[in-house]
């Protein structure tokens, strides 16, 4: 799998896991927020890598 696709996939999985974790605990902690921020950065890096390829 190409690196940019893998980066975007990991970002999406992290967001899903953070949402599930927040739903199970019924609260949003600082760790959940940090995971979502990390996932958004990972998706952004994946998009930048794709744009550099073209």
- Report d(CA 20, CA 31) in Å as an integer: 13
pLDDT of the chain, 54 residues: tens digit per residue: 789 899 999 999 999 999 999 999 998 899 999 999 999 999 999 999 999 987
**Domains contained in the chain, number:** 1
Domain of 36?
3-53
Task: Report pLDDT for 1.
Answer: 76
- This prediction has a pTM of 0.84
Listed in sequence order, the DSSP H helices in the chain are 3-25, 30-53
Residue 38 pLDDT: 96
């Amino acid at each position: 799998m190409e690196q940019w696709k893998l980066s975007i996939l990991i970002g999406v999985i992290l967001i899903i896991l953070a949402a599930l974790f927040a739903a199970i605990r019924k609260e949003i902690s600082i760790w959940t927020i940090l995971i979502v921020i990390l996932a958004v950065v990972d998706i952004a890096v994946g998009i930048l890598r794709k744009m550099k390829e073209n």
